[in-house]
Amino acid sequence: MTSGKVNPAETKLETVARFDELVDAFVRLRDPESVAAFLHDVCTVNELDAIGQRLQVARLVDEGLAYQEISRRTGASTATVTRVAQWLHHGEGGYRQVLKQARS
């Protein structure tokens, strides 16, 4: 029986390969039901909740709410709000793309 612990990648190359495989899996999914099924299979309930919370935080940061208010509304720590805001403003554009598509 295993401990359930994920062995971290031993190299940056292995981390990149794991990430690329995950991205490819999402790209191949064609409908919301398939994405939902995959997410439920691949993530714990806590992980899904954390990801969903970060998306809520990003939307509220984008709307210009104060960090304390975002924390109060979402239950996210101010550290999480700050970190999400940093990625929203200076990340790779993923949050921006999702938020833009949600507004369309």
Instruction: Show me where the domains of the chain are located.
Output: 10-42, 44-104
What CATH number is given for 44-104 in this structure?
Answer: 1.10.1270.10
As a whole-number percent, the residues of the chain with pLDDT over 90 amount to 88
Output the CA angle 91-95-96, nearest 5 degrees: 90
Distance of CA 37 to the CA centre of its chain: 16
Give the whole-angstrom CA distance, residue 20 versus residue 16: 6
pLDDT tens readout for residues 35-75:
999 999 999 999 999 999 999 999 999 999 999 999 999 99
Chain mean pLDDT for the chain: 94
Per-residue pLDDT, 6? 74
Is pTM, for the whole model, over 0.75? yes
